[in-house]
Amino acid sequence: MVEFGKALSVVETPIPGLVVFELPVHGDARGWFKENWQREKMTALGLPDFGPVQNNISFNDTAGTTRGIHAEPWDKWVSVATGRIFGAWVDLREGPTFGAVFTTELDPSRAIFVPRGVGNSYQTLEPDTAYTYLVNDHWSPDASYSFLNLADETVAIDWPIPLADVQISPKDLAHPRLADVTPIAPKKVLVLGAGGQLGLALRAELGDAPHIEYATRAEIDLATDDLRTARRWRDYDTIINAAAYTAVDAAETVEGRRVAWASNVTAVTSLAAIAAESGITLVHVSSDYVFDGTSPGAYSEDAPLCPLGVYGQTKAAGDAVVGALPRHYIIRTSWVIGEGGNFVRTMASLAERGVDPKVVDDQVGRLTFTTDIARAIRHLLSSRAPYGTYNVTGAGDPASWADISRAVFALTGHDPQRVTGVSTEEYYATAAGPVAPRPRNSVLDLSKIEATGWRVPVASVSLAEYLAG
């Protein structure tokens, strides 16, 4: 008997992500009506915006028809149209809740959201029972599935109608016991630009778990026409794009401008299209060069973009593309230092070789180390921080490039007074080729990422640790 008049509400279960919804059903002498799936109302109550692409119906003639236990690599929304079912769900995902069980009855006034990797099974309690399920992926022979025997003694499901008395397919009868089940692995994380300085830091931070993949440009070319078929993208949860064109001066040349737009805009647009189509979170790394540097204070995440040069223009365009995605993190950073040749190592080498450099003293900002960017990305993903743009730099007092050079000299045991500060115009007066305009103020406000619980490392401390290491 359908229960009328319930308010839309949520019932949590012991299995993470498995959620029962009580549905309002409106009825009279003619029959009844319900909103079976209503995106706005249900996401407001915590239902993931899971993006269904297919609607299936299972009709069962007799009471006792039993199906399962099947775990698929997609999410599903299960609801009853007519009749009544007993449902049993077993967590078959890798992790601490593997083997956890939840059972309940479903009728037209109750539905359930089943997350990817949770095994589901249903036993009809009335004849002529029909239930529907919305899924957010299409069936594929290349997808990974797991199955559990309905009679497994470990999970010990208390079936209302004994399994000996019901109809079960031979295939379901042959499924393995829990000890022999292959767990569903987490969705994959793909790091692009794995050979660059940020890519190397991400590899050190994220490690080599089976579900984390790293790819260089040689392994995945974002400009190729078959990018959409290069992977089964529905198996991915996150793409971290650590690849970019960063030669700011070369971007002012004809060839450099072409490559900068291809790498920083066209390639990012291709990634964004894949992310939108497959429900993937896209992590995109941005730059202080999207600003003109004329602000008297630190730039917040929502400050108007106003790039000066070609590189900054391409980064701003990439930000606009990624910012339109429902699931995105834009990591805006500045003055990045990582493995390989960089400003800090150059200053340390000059100090050691007895060279007294002239260094720009009218550009102000904070250093950001790639190890800290990698940690911040991991923090945002693991804490499920709200999607959006986050400034990520070192903390502490802003400094000029000349100030940082003097700090490097001092930390390596040399006289910091050997560094002479000069203006940007003086420094580049004898440059042989095009010079990109630089923002004079590259200080980014860090309060937004601090509010997520991220402890921002102090740039001067990170510099000392970098040189000591």
Domain boundary among 180, 211, 228: 180
**Rounded to the nearest 10 degrees, what angle do helices 310-323 and 254-261 cross at?**
10
**Per-residue confidence (pLDDT) for residue 146, from 0 to 100:** 94
Looking at the structure, tell me whether residues 207 and 223 fall in a common domain.
yes
Cα separation, 315 vs 7, whole angstroms: 47
**Per-residue confidence (pLDDT) for residue 431, from 0 to 100:** 85
58-70 residue pLDDT tens: 999 999 999 999 9
In the predicted structure, residue 143 carries a pLDDT above the cut 90:
no
* Domain-embedded: residue 2: no
Looking at the structure, tell me whether residues 224 and 165 fall in a common domain.
no
Q: Lowest-confidence range among 1-5, 229-233, 299-303, 433-437? A: 1-5
**Per-residue confidence (pLDDT) for residue 1, from 0 to 100:** 61
Instruction: Verify cis geometry, omega within 30 degrees of 0, for the bond prior to 112.
Output: no
Are the beta carbons of 217 and 242 closer than 8 angstroms? no
* Domain-embedded: residue 135: yes
**Per-residue confidence (pLDDT) for residue 317, from 0 to 100:** 98
**Per-residue confidence (pLDDT) for residue 225, from 0 to 100:** 78
Return the structure tokens found at 452.
């997520």
**Per-residue confidence (pLDDT) for residue 179, from 0 to 100:** 95
Catalytic-residue membership of 133:
yes
Return the structure tokens found at 331.
């990591």
* Domain-embedded: residue 432: yes
In the predicted structure, residue 27 carries a pLDDT above the cut 90:
no
351-361 residue pLDDT tens: 999 999 999 99
Cα separation, 177 vs 119, whole angstroms: 13
For the chain, what is the domain count? 2
Looking at the structure, tell me whether residues 176 and 207 fall in a common domain.
no
Cα three-residue angle 408-195-239, rounded to 5 degrees: 110
In the predicted structure, residue 167 carries a pLDDT above the cut 90:
no
Return the structure tokens found at 380.
């945002």
Mean of pLDDT values over 213-242: 89
Looking at the structure, tell me whether residues 220 and 148 fall in a common domain.
no
Looking at the structure, tell me whether residues 128 and 202 fall in a common domain.
no
* Domain-embedded: residue 3: no
Cα three-residue angle 421-333-302, rounded to 5 degrees: 115
CA distances from 233 to 211, 215, 274, 442 (A): 13, 14, 7, 36
* Domain-embedded: residue 4: no
Looking at the structure, tell me whether residues 230 and 344 fall in a common domain.
yes
**Domain harbouring 252, CATH code:** 3.40.50.720
In the predicted structure, residue 258 carries a pLDDT above the cut 90:
yes
Provide the mean pLDDT of the chain: 94
**Per-residue confidence (pLDDT) for residue 191, from 0 to 100:** 97
Task: Exactly one of 122, 131, 133, 466 is catalytic; name it.
Answer: 133
Looking at the structure, tell me whether residues 283 and 301 fall in a common domain.
yes
Element (H, E) at 9: strand 9-12
Mean of pLDDT values over 257-274: 95
**Domain harbouring 162, CATH code:** 2.60.120.10
Range of the domain at 370: 188-468
Catalytic-residue membership of 379:
no
In the predicted structure, residue 115 carries a pLDDT above the cut 90:
yes
Domain boundary among 180, 212, 228: 180
Residue type, 314: T
Looking at the structure, tell me whether residues 238 and 173 fall in a common domain.
no
Looking at the structure, tell me whether residues 209 and 135 fall in a common domain.
no
In the predicted structure, residue 227 carries a pLDDT above the cut 90:
no
Return the structure tokens found at 132.
């529907």
**Per-residue confidence (pLDDT) for residue 292, from 0 to 100:** 97
In the predicted structure, residue 432 carries a pLDDT above the cut 70:
yes
**Per-residue confidence (pLDDT) for residue 247, from 0 to 100:** 95
Looking at the structure, tell me whether residues 234 and 350 fall in a common domain.
yes
Phi, psi (deg, nearest 5) at residue 380: -60, -40
302-349 residue pLDDT tens: 999 999 999 999 999 999 999 999 999 999 999 999 998 899 999 999
Q: Which residue has the higher pLDDT, 88 or 340?
A: 88
In the predicted structure, residue 99 carries a pLDDT above the cut 90:
yes
In 383-407, which positions are buried (b, 16+ CB within 10 angstroms) versus exposed (e)? eebebebbbbbbbbebbbbbbbbbb
Mean of pLDDT values over 182-205: 95
Domain boundary among 141, 156, 180: 180
In the predicted structure, residue 46 carries a pLDDT above the cut 80:
yes
In the predicted structure, residue 84 carries a pLDDT above the cut 70:
yes
Looking at the structure, tell me whether residues 420 and 462 fall in a common domain.
yes
